[in-house]
């Protein structure tokens, strides 16, 4: 009965956070999940289920903080949360590239201005030198 009321009011099902990819296509390899330490599977069964269903792709940092280092060493590398945000690294690399291009443009522009200034100065010096003869 309650479900029907929610549908009439326009209630929506909540989706898990993250990309809108189909969870079936993001399922983690069962071999990796079976290699998880027993301590992790016993203390955090919801994390193992989320990994299996493709809701998350790696063991969250909050879970890793609660485990001893001996357990963390036995977790497969592909399931460990990375401390590096690759999107941020790519954005920083793009910004650095633009900055280098701007710097080179500025240096080239300044060099062209200096070259033009000394060309004009040399022309004036040549005119003054040859008109005095």
State yes or no: pLDDT of 28 exceeds 60.
no
pTM, two decimals, is: 0.41
User: 49-77 b/e with 16+ CB inside 10 Å = b?
Assistant: ebbeebbbebbeeebbeebeeebeeebbe
Q: Are 64 and 80 in contact (CB under 8 A)?
A: yes
Would you list the domain boundaries of the chain? Answer: 2-79, 85-133
Please answer whether residues 52 and 27 qualify as being in contact, where contact means their C-beta atoms are separated by less than 8 angstroms.
yes
Q: What is the pLDDT of residues 29-66, one digit of tens each?
A: 565 677 777 787 788 888 888 888 878 777 777 787 77
Q: Looking at 23-110, which runs of residues are DSSP E strands?
A: none
Q: How crowded is residue 128: how many other Cβ atoms within 10 Å of its Cβ?
A: 9
């Amino acid at each position: 009965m309650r479900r029907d009321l929610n549908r009439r009011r326009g209630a929506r099902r909540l989706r898990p956070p993250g990309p809108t990819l189909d969870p079936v296509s993001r399922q983690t390899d069962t071999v990796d999940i079976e290699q998880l330490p027993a301590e992790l599977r016993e203390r955090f069964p919801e994390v193992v289920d989320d990994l299996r269903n493709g809701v998350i792709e790696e063991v969250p940092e909050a879970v890793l903080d609660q485990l001893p280092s001996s357990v963390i060493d036995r977790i497969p590398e592909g399931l460990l949360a990375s401390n590096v945000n690759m999107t941020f690294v790519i954005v920083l690399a793009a910004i650095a590239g633009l900055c280098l291009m701007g710097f080179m443009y500025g240096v080239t522009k300044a060099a062209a201005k200096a070259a033009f200034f000394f060309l004009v100065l040399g022309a004036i010096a040549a005119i003054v030198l040859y008109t005095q003869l």
